[in-house]
Amino acid sequence: MLERVQLTLAAWIVPPLLWLIGGTLRMTITYEEGSIRGLNDIKPGIFPFWHRCVLTAAYLFRDRGIGVLTSLSRDGEYIARVISRLGFVPVRGSSSRGGWRGLLEMQKMLDAGETVAFTIDGPRGPRYVAKKGPVLLARITGVPVTPFYVAVERAWVLKTWDATTIPKPFSRVHVRVSKHIFVPPDADDAALDRYHAEMQASLERITEFAEAQFSSSRN
């Protein structure tokens, strides 16, 4: 009963707080060569990002009907309820439970021309270590993987495994979008490992780039 009340409160309290803070944020977005051309060029697409960015990303990319893989855990239920109110489509499943079911649901969305996203080091970490799901989905669908990262100039950092950031009002935010990663349909296990490593490297590269935009203002 208590857990149900907590989940309900989270679903109703967190989105208004994000809307309140989000309206004050100043966002810039940059793209690597070979990436999308703008936010109107995201369908269909597979977009992995680090779990710590989830709240800021949820506000910035709200109301686009993006499917987001969320775990079957209590934490996943919390995220699913919050993002539903922000105009996302929760797809339940994770690397540990229900993973293939989640990927099949995402495949259906991509086949229909929609966009999907992964908190790629979730649901339990380790932080900044990408799972393979987007690469597998790209091989099945032919849709490229396009990692992104959201850096926040000033934020509250939660004491959680992922160090979740909550942007402070009037903060600057920088979104960096990686170049596309195309995975051929005949990629074998060794090739999948290489594309997985490329995705990991892309996430690390864009994280470093975006965080560097605010390094001087934090000193």
Q: What is the pLDDT along the chain (219 residues), one digit of tens a residue?
A: 544 545 555 567 788 889 999 999 999 999 999 999 898 899 999 999 999 999 999 999 999 999 998 877 776 777 788 889 899 999 987 655 556 888 999 999 999 999 999 999 977 789 999 999 999 999 999 999 999 999 999 999 989 899 999 999 999 999 999 999 999 999 999 999 999 999 999 999 999 999 999 987 765
Q: Of the candidates 208, 70, 203, which has an alpha carbon nearest to the alpha carbon of residue 135?
A: 203
- Indicate which CATH number applies to the domain containing 52: 3.40.1010.10
Model-wide pTM > 0.95: no
Here the tokens at position 130 are 């990408």
Distance CA 181, CA 92 (A): 25
Type of residue numbered 120: I
Q: Which domain holds residue 176?
A: 2-218
Q: Which helix (H) or strand (E) holds 60?
A: helix 54-60
End-to-end CA distance of the chain: 46
How many domains does the chain contain in total? 1
Residue 213 exposed, middle or buried by CB count within 10 Å (0-12, 13-18, 19+): middle
